[in-house]
Amino acid sequence: AQKVTQAQTEISVVEKEDVTLDCVYETRDTTYYLFWYKQPPSGELVFLIRRNSFDEQNEISGRYSWNFQKSTSSFNFTITASQVVDSAVYFCALSEMRRGQFYFGTGTSLTVIP
């Protein structure tokens, strides 16, 4: 079974639009961490944000914000006022305390059209 599901394979938006990337996860652990990574065309995976399972407070950091809901096992990521440089593949990831493993979703390819 897939631990992390990113149902959106490709998204295209026009520059300055807001875009939300969906992530649904599955775990039996009570302590876990969720991450979002960005993979630009250059290929390197870049860490963006992290959330622990005990903190459902949603936050905003610059143009990034995230919505963590344990009740629906979702960890969605929003980019406000998108820019061309945001074009990349975005991966959601889960780290479980019990097994100490990192699981990645299949990624969402975002294209921001100027």
What is the contact surface with other proteins in residues (CB under 8 A)?
Answer: 4, 31-33, 35, 42-47, 50, 52, 91, 93, 95-97, 100-102, 104-107
Length of the chain: 114
CB of 17 to other proteins, least distance (A): 25
Contact 70, 55 (CB under 8 A): no
CB of 89 to other proteins, least distance (A): 9
Q: What's the token pair of residue 50?
A: 């992290």
Q: What's the token pair of residue 96?
A: 């479980």
Specify the residue, 62 or 114, whose C-beta has the smaller distance to other proteins: 62
Specify the residue, 100 or 114, whose C-beta has the smaller distance to other proteins: 100
Q: With 0-12 CB in 10 A as exposed, 13-18 as middle and 19+ as buried, what is 22?
A: middle
CB of 107 to other proteins, least distance (A): 5
Angle at 63 between CA 90 and CA 46, to 5 degrees: 35
CB of 6 to other proteins, least distance (A): 8
